[in-house]
């Protein structure tokens, strides 16, 4: 209950002090809910198409600043760690893919897997723009298993993950 009140208090403060940012956070929150529900009901490629939009004409703002502003906003939404709002990489990538496209920045979502030294398999989703990884603190070291948007079928070759 205290966590919910804290989030409500922060949201109210944002709405008063920065209404445009508060609206962005509210819109992003709605898309987090949409992608969460869509991913439960549809195959992942269809769920991503549902949330995706075409890349618009550039707004003219510096791309790096726009990317950071939008990434900070979606990270704030996801870090609330309440209900569907969990800091999960594929949700972050899907929502950022949409909002970057609206700002004129084309991206692809890459999904990858790797085999950890202990034998477990881990996965990650991240964005690339013009073939370069964006909005990641360290370059991902995963074998790419799926790229969105893509015309390729969604198939994972687990043999790619075998440790040599």
Helix, strand or coil, per DSSP, at residue 113 = strand
The overall average pLDDT reported for the chain is 85
Domain that holds residue 53: 2-161
Are 85 and 78 spatial neighbours (Cβ–Cβ below 8 Å)? yes
In the predicted model, what is the mean pLDDT of residues 30-51? 94
Q: What is the pLDDT of residues 119-164, one digit of tens each?
A: 899 999 999 999 999 999 888 999 999 999 976 655 555 555 555 4
- Strand order through the sheet with 143-148: 132-134, 121-129, 108-115, 143-148
- Predicted local confidence at residue 139, as pLDDT: 86
Q: What's the pTM?
A: 0.81
Query: How would you class 84 by CB atoms within 10 Å of its CB: exposed for 0-12, middle for 13-18, buried for 19 or more?
Result: middle
Judged against a pLDDT cut of 70, whether residue 16 lies above it is answered with no
Contact 102, 65 (CB under 8 A): no
Number of domains in the chain: 1
């Amino acid at each position: 209950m205290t966590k919910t009140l804290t989030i409500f208090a922060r949201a109210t403060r944002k709405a008063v002090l920065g209404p445009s940012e508060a609206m962005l956070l509210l819109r992003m929150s709605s898309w987090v809910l949409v992608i969460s529900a869509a991913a439960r009901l549809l195959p992942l490629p269809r769920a991503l198409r549902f949330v995706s939009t075409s890349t618009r004409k550039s707004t003219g703002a510096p791309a790096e600043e726009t990317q950071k502003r939008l990434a900070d906003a979606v990270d704030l939404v996801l870090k609330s760690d309440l209900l569907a709002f969990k800091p999960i990489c594929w949700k972050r990538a899907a929502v950022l893919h949409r909002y970057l496209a609206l700002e004129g920045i084309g991206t692809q979502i890459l999904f990858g897997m790797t085999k950890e030294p202990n034998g477990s398999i881990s996965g990650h989703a991240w964005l690339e723009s013009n073939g370069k990884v964006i909005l990641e603190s360290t370059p991902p070291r995963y074998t790419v298993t799926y790229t969105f948007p893509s015309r390729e079928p969604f198939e994972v070759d687990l043999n790619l993950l075998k440790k040599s």
